[in-house]
Structure 1
Amino acid sequence: MNRSGNVVRTLARTAAETLVTGGVVVLLFAVYLVFWSDVQTAAAQVDLRDDFKQQAAAVPATSKAASTAPVRPSTGAGVAVMQIPRLGDDWSWVVVEGVSDEQLARGPGRFPDTALPGQVGNFGVAGHRATHGEPFAHIDRVRKGDKIFVEAVGSTYTYVVDRTEIVAPTAVGVLYPVPDKPNATPRKARITIVTCNPRWGSSERLIVHGRLIETRSGTEA
């Protein structure tokens, strides 16, 4: 009986130790996701912002005022600096080219097949609501009439929010040149922000739609 009891106690102790070890591993992974990924993203944003400033400074004043066709950026490079006052006076993120996990770990990303900032069409941007700096953590606070400022090299664009909506992850039509109208010809410059909903889940997508209302020469990033 004692021998049987010892076996039971040994098994129970082993199981408990395994559970504790597993819990520690899960906790460390959670710490990485919530904290360390934020640190890495913040460092990437500093580098991206420095690169963006250098690009802006390298453009001659005459070119900044001219209406020239924008150059498509390389994957992972900074496209523009986005500011949304509704999310705070210090809310400012460099948008990178691309929306893979690697690119979104550095900040919000532009969908490569969408328009560039200020262009006629739909400037599509994706970003995290949790982990990796959580740029769109509180994007659900954005309301119709709010402004979104996008500073590209040579120009600063002001968009105004038209509407927000929650859709299924399969609703790719929100990124059409004219959202949800696959056969329509775009005549306006628009912006569409895509992020997960709820904040710590991915069963839905939260969408912010806006349209361009002002273009100014120069950048302020």
Structure 2
Amino acid sequence: MTALQHSSPRKKSGRRAAAKRRPKVTFTGVLGELLLTVGALLLLFIGWKYFYYDGLAGSAQDEAGASLSQQFEQDYQTADAPELDESGIPIRAMPEGEGQPFAVLYVPAWEGDFSRTIATGTSFYGVLDQYVGAYESSDPVGSVGNFVIAGHRWGYGSAFKEVPDLSVGDNVYIETVDGWYVYTYRSGEYVLPSEVSVLADVPRHPDMKSEDRIMILQTCNPIYTSSLERQVAYTVLVDFVPRSEGPPAEIADTVNARANNGNQDTGGDL
């Protein structure tokens, strides 16, 4: 009989298998993780502020503008008669107090049935995040001098996103209780934020007295910044259409649509 053969026992290693090394925690690693987290949060914030909230704010602006336009029709019957200048154009001072809506802006050259409420003042949170703002120090709508309005180019409804796309001859309409002031685009330029001379009666020439009826549309440049430059669009008054004659033909469909669809008109990117 053949004896059973026993396998010889394995020799145990004198060293235990080396334990798996844990990654070292370093300052640069922690900093990298923090930066990634902050970056993700910023992207979410930008998406909310400039896309989702942009649409909501713009829609609210359109509805407010439509409501104001309808209010004009009612106020026209009871409002005090405006002062007429030497050319027979009605001139009303802007209402007092920041954030007071008093006019509606129409720009047929821009996308959709574009319209926005104009309110007094240009503070960011009080006015520009809801309306197009009018400089309270500027001259009244339609008057000889310089009526200046400002709006966001990106975010909060992107009211002035298409200012760079204006062409010579494009009309810009301002509706008030008295009717529609018709301005026509003439030229534009880029200036530093400190160039306050554009607000003068004769833009860039504060010592001169204006003989023209100017309106400026002002916004930020480049599109995703707010402090590098200002883009300034110059327009001049070419006509006034009294409310009794109905809206000008170029914007009649937009004005009528606003009055007939439950204040849900949209324009631009909204």
Bin of the TM-score, shorter chain as denominator length: 0.7 to 0.9
- 2:92 pairs with 1:70: yes
Q: 1:54 matched to which residue of 2? A: 71
Q: Please give the secondary structure, in 1, of the residue aligned with 2:183.
A: strand
Displacement after TM superposition at 1:24 (Å): 2.9
Q: 1:146 matched to which residue of 2? A: 170
- 2:98 pairs with 1:87: no
CA contact (8 A) 1:128 1:135 kept: yes
TM-score by length of 1: 0.86
Q: Which amino acid aligns with 1:116?
A: P
Structure 1 unaligned residues grouped into runs of 5+: none
Q: Which amino acid aligns with 1:57?
A: Q
Structure 1: how far apart are the matches of 2:99 and 2:58? 13
Deviations 1:4-36 (A, max 9, x none): 943615878755653443233212211222124
How many percent of aligned residue pairs carry the same amino acid?
A: 26
Aligned-residue RMSD, C-alpha: 2.8
Structure 2: how far apart are the matches of 1:3 and 1:165? 69
CA contact (8 A) 2:220 2:231 kept: yes
Structure 2: how far apart are the matches of 1:206 and 1:12? 42
Written as runs of structure 1 = structure 2, the 5 A alignment for 1:162-201 is 162-201=186-225
Q: Please give the secondary structure, in 2, of the residue aligned with 1:140.
A: helix
Q: Which aligned runs of 4 or more in structure 1 are off by greater than 6 angstroms?
A: 10-13
Q: Higher mean Cα deviation, 2-11 or 162-171? A: 2-11
Deviations 1:177-213 (A, max 9, x none): 1111112222221101111111112311111001101
Selected match of 2:154 from 130, 134, 138: 130
Q: Higher mean Cα deviation, 86-95 or 158-167? A: 86-95
Structure 2: how far apart are the matches of 1:95 and 1:3? 71
Change (3 A) 1:83 1:170: same
Q: Which has the higher helix share?
A: 1
Structure 1: how far apart are the matches of 2:179 and 2:197? 28
Structure 2: how far apart are the matches of 1:10 and 1:168? 44
Q: Higher mean Cα deviation, 14-23 or 33-42? A: 14-23
CA contact (8 A) 1:118 1:189 kept: yes
Q: 2:139 matched to which residue of 1? A: 115
Change (3 A) 1:9 1:154: same
TM-score by length of 2: 0.72
Deviations 1:52-106 (A, max 9, x none): 4224412227956873551422321212111112213411111111100020001
Q: 1:157 matched to which residue of 2? A: 181
Structure 1: how far apart are the matches of 2:196 and 2:79? 39
Change (3 A) 1:154 1:24: same
Q: Please give the secondary structure, in 2, of the residue aligned with 1:6.
A: coil
Q: 2:229 matched to which residue of 1? A: 204
Change (3 A) 1:84 1:41: closer
Structure 2 unaligned residues grouped into runs of 5+: 1-17, 85-89, 248-254, 256-270
Structure 1: how far apart are the matches of 2:93 and 2:34? 55
Q: Please give the secondary structure, in 2, of the residue aligned with 1:93.
A: strand
